[in-house]
Structure 1
């Protein structure tokens, strides 16, 4: 691998062309957004314009020194917005962060106030349960809760404490409504490695076949998910962390340091000191609305593709971009995917976990390689300063005296089965691809799918819920080549739950030698595995998409090589069919509270958001 100290080449012409189209397409909405946040920033600390009664309410509970500091215009006031709860392993470490951050901010002559908490649910707990139907919508609830936390006009900057699935995108979307403020995301890190993910997956398949007991399965799951921190596979949570770093919202090298270690605590304190430096009162020039620009969004897409990251981000990145007035589309993902090589193998795209990626060189080496190949924009604004190569190719370390410092990162991979150079990739293109055809548009993750399984043409078996599929599997009705169609799982139908309950059974069918694929308007996320899955099918069944007119026995082609998603039925016959009707809206487990969301939500390819698209 090339050392990151060498000059980086100009950005690749395809990356430049895609970025140019995004800029042109977004010109009006981006300009309106920037005008709005720059006007807000030009007014100085908003708290200074509060009426005395409002202001008094805002610092009534502060200690006397902080009250005195907030009365003037020299001590920035930093909001802490946290997704802490002690049920989610990834968020449990946040319990102690506010105290660490307050002390660090005070040492930098600032004040910190805990501005608000946001909900954080775990898809790992709600998989296959009614609560999963709240999952995607929780992102937009988190965005609104973040906006409420920042709405008091008391703050000069903000720290966002969140890790998992919908939580990080929600925090960022909410923060972008206050785009004139500097915002820094503070990670908590992955749990230490436990039972190997491939061994856990094997036990899941054995249980699906009735060859392992529930006690065996629980023992395997408990050995895998065993302590504080993010799950160690490369799902949406760890994709979030990777994207926040490459998009310049984390401190360099902060994403994958394990919890409850001296380095993790030092990075947390450094985040507190840094956010004070970034405020306008200290001359900072990195408000979040300027950090998240068209170049940063394209950098995020490239990093996602290069690592075979979570398919959820084909929605989340679109929604984040829209919140900043930027119009990015699946066609942009598709064009970049054909160019960007796959540089990592992290479970489920390989056998290693995220800790092995960190040990092999992690984010500094990944970013260096992508820069060296001209696949990332280097001249971008970040919370660490201007330029990726100037900051994000370095490794944070504790010196002998305990002080935190950043040093030159590795120039070569410590494990080329996990992380490779752009000159010697695992695959010449990206781990995510787009599908298009008579059944609509969809996303497919191919990084974990063996080449011999990437083209499936087989009769359809249609289901409207996961339990019906599992009953058919247990009855032996699916022991053949089959394209399972799971419809009415889109955002308008039931909130677009993830469908990992299907994964072990589909894997069993594939292992028996059958050609197997899944076609769904639902989600599979970062844990999408070895079975080819056309997900996020748009238009969804509840929006009268073609998927609602598929019948059992129809020949379906899922072709990850050509990008085709086709139903091989005569067009006249297919168009004449009456679409299936969506099941009645489910109630219970809070689902009835989200009826307005299901009515207002946009399609998956526009971010599946209730806020509209750019």
Structure 2
């Protein structure tokens, strides 16, 4: 029986979304009623579409077989997406063997927040999600496909692809991951070297050696940041094949899952036997299951923005209160770095997503009856894929955690509530990733030091100015101000201050990233400073309370909001590394609590 709070939250989402969801589903019904689209193209149009299809050209011209569109985020500059270079040919061969065809419909950009961290390029990162959605829309606009497979992994790529999949929701869609790189230098060792470098205790050669030992091959970064949180969500929400998220690249099992994903997508088309459009998979229950997975595994704070935007594309209206109420009843069952010492490979070996889903189902903390691309409800996602006698099969998992320091049953969790907390008060609304924050650090009352740039924070740290208990405020970092960059490069210095025994917190209208760690960080503050939010009124020395236990974000100094709000010269954020191309985005973007999207809502 499903937990009553999940039932109540789901029913509230359904009621809140009724008008938008109804209109969306009506549009999808009209699109599906038209049938396979390429039959309606002119002969010239079809010839253009099939001219480069080689051995598949004749079959496409006849038009009787299922045709699969591949939307890929391949590039070989990013380790997470490099494995996709091989995928199109694997997919084509699998489609042919199943009697169908496949073509690369188009590519989407994929940028790395790790590469741009602390640099100007980070100001394009959040906006890239909506660019990816539009690029995928262009890819599918040729209207020649019966189903689609989406190749994406990292921070903005999967959310952008999901938004596009929702817009083309009458098509069946399977998401195919690349998997994590094999384990390298332990994440805690890497973090230690970063702190030593920030404190001037080691040089850049030592830092570079540690980073290269951590990020050493193809696949996603192995910590539990936004990229791997995306992969978790695709399983919890039924868009991956069961157990496929954390299988390492370029292995027989990875290839078998990719090929099966192509076959499955074709079988879900209107020409197959199990027509399942993605609009039927991504319903209100699926999104609640995604929120449960986010809380239970201590996932990335970025998904508090992305899930809202992803849902809106399908006419489903989520808000942060939904996340807060789910977090209050969903226990933390996983500890994966930065919430623990293990990486995602260790997590996967301990039972991974299959066991996580199983134990949450047992406690009534997931909707079991959602539609999935696997076609057997969520219970199928408790099984593990294996290759036996040359064939891909799914078998029951161990039924228990194989390492209770990494993964625990929902009946005996690491903590009784989820990994994220919503904060509200006179300073606005914010969120905090608490799963990695020790209980004694979750409540901070201290005077603020106010900055308009993360480089200013670093300069103050180097000058020895951040003494005593302090709440570092970094404002004018919201989506309208400069694209809401992640401020993860502040983590090492804030960790050093906390390690000295100071009470430390961060408050910002920017983002902190999926790697948010041991320092309490109230992020995504709304309204943002550029909109005249309360954060714009703070001055050095004002007393603030950041309390993740009681959910408070309060200005304690009297009269602060009676003053004049600060202004900032943002002209330097408008040019360089492509920022001038995104002026329209900065002008049109919505608030973080509405998904920080340029698509409205």
Match among 222, 227, 242 for residue 232 of structure 1: 222
The aligned counterpart of 1:55 is 46
Match among 571, 592, 609 for residue 580 of structure 2: 592
Match among 577, 582, 597 for residue 564 of structure 2: 577
State how 1:276-315 maps to structure 2 within 5 Å. 276-315=266-305
State how 1:115-514 maps to structure 2 within 5 Å. 115-389=105-379, 391-399=380-388, 401-514=389-502
SS at 2:378's partner residue?
coil
Stretch of structure 1 that moved more, 49-58 or 421-430: 49-58
Unpaired runs of at least 5, structure 1: 1-9
Following the alignment from structure 2 to structure 1, what is the Cα–Cα distance between the partners of residues 273 and 390? Answer: 29
Shift of 1:285: 2.7
Q: Determine if contact 1:161/1:185 at 8 Å carries over to the other structure.
A: yes
Structure 1 runs of 4+ aligned residues shifted over 3 Å read none
Shift of 1:38: 1.1
Shift of 1:174: 1.0
RMSD: 0.9
TM-score (norm 2): 0.99
Following the alignment from structure 1 to structure 2, what is the Cα–Cα distance between the partners of residues 375 and 543? Answer: 38
Stretch of structure 1 that moved more, 65-74 or 444-453: 65-74
Stretch of structure 1 that moved more, 527-536 or 74-83: 74-83
Unpaired runs of at least 5, structure 2: none
Shift of 1:276: 0.9
Following the alignment from structure 1 to structure 2, what is the Cα–Cα distance between the partners of residues 50 and 436? Answer: 53
Following the alignment from structure 2 to structure 1, what is the Cα–Cα distance between the partners of residues 217 and 163? Answer: 29
Count of aligned positions? 600
Q: Determine if contact 1:541/1:582 at 8 Å carries over to the other structure.
A: no
Q: Determine if contact 2:50/2:57 at 8 Å carries over to the other structure.
A: yes
Following the alignment from structure 1 to structure 2, what is the Cα–Cα distance between the partners of residues 386 and 495? Answer: 40
Q: Determine if contact 1:296/1:380 at 8 Å carries over to the other structure.
A: yes
Match among 498, 516, 519 for residue 528 of structure 1: 516
Q: Determine if contact 2:538/2:560 at 8 Å carries over to the other structure.
A: no
Shift of 1:72: 3.6
Quick check: 1:549 aligned with 2:540? no
Following the alignment from structure 2 to structure 1, what is the Cα–Cα distance between the partners of residues 555 and 220? Answer: 39
The aligned counterpart of 2:2 is 11
The CA deviation string for residues 90-109 of structure 1, in whole angstroms up to 9 with x for no partner, is: 00111111111100011111
The aligned counterpart of 1:20 is 11
TM-score (norm 1): 0.97
Q: Determine if contact 1:542/1:582 at 8 Å carries over to the other structure.
A: no
Following the alignment from structure 1 to structure 2, what is the Cα–Cα distance between the partners of residues 159 and 301? Answer: 24
Shift of 1:580: 2.7
